[in-house]
């Protein structure tokens, strides 16, 4: 796992647009399947969901997690836990400085860990594959949105989430 600033991520990913514009493009482009999924508050489901998302998304290649909102529900988070995890991974910067986490296909456990923290702490985050085939937004209002131009990835995500007891609602629009 590499922790990056927004500027570092834009350069590392070779983006032609600023990161937020790139994410909006990924979310709104035509030719992809979309679903909204209300999150289940059970911590066991959240841990299993983090592992599921990690394993499926990394089939597409490297993944990025952009944590864009935290301390919204302060009673649901322990920032010391998050920063201790990042410190163990040799990064001591604050989220305000470096909100981007980049994962290679060999880092499934690390990706699952960051996704789990986002889910447990009820934070806002966008997860996307480096190749642009999949985008998931997790919202502090406890839902996630899925968009994918890969029918196989979309089907794997929603069918497994439904198997875990989630109710996926398919739709035509998605915004960040």
What's the mean pLDDT when you consider all of the chain?
Answer: 94
**9 is a domain residue:** yes
pLDDT digits (tens, 9 = 90+) for 56-76: 999 999 999 999 999 999 899
Quote the pTM value.
0.93
- Put the strands of the sheet holding 134-139 in their side by side order: 2-4, 100-103, 63-69, 124-129, 134-139, 143-148, 33-38, 169-170
Residue 175 lies in a domain: no
In a domain? residue 112: yes
176 occurs within a structural domain = no
When divided into structural domains, the chain yields a total of: 1
Instruction: Report if residue 107 sits inside a domain.
Output: yes
Domain of residue 98: give its range. 2-170
Has residue 106 been placed in a domain?
Answer: yes
Query: Do the domain assignments include residue 76?
Result: yes
The pLDDT score that the predictor gives to residue 176 is: 43
* Residue-wise pLDDT tens digits, 137-168: 999 999 999 999 999 999 999 999 999 999 99
Does 148 reside within a domain? yes
pLDDT value of position 31: 79
């Amino acid at each position: 796992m590499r922790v990056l600033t927004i500027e570092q991520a834009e350069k590392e990913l070779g983006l032609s647009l600023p990161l937020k514009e790139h994410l909006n493009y990924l979310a709104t482009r035509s030719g992809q399947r979309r679903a909204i999924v209300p999150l289940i508050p059970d911590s066991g489901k959240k841990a299993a969901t983090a592992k599921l998302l990690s394993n499926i998304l990394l089939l597409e290649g490297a993944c990025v997690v952009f944590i864009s909102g935290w301390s919204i529900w302060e009673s649901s988070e322990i920032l010391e836990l998050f920063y201790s995890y990042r410190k163990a991974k040799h990064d001591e910067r604050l989220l305000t400085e470096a909100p981007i986490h980049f994962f290679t296909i060999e880092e499934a456990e690390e990706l699952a860990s960051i996704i789990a923290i986002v889910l447990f702490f009820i934070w806002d985050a966008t997860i996307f594959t480096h190749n642009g085939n999949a985008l998931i937004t997790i919202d502090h209002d406890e839902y996630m949105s899925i968009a994918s131009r890969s029918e196989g990835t979309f089907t794997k995500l929603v069918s497994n989430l439904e198997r875990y007891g989630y109710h996926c609602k398919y739709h035509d629009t998605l915004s960040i």
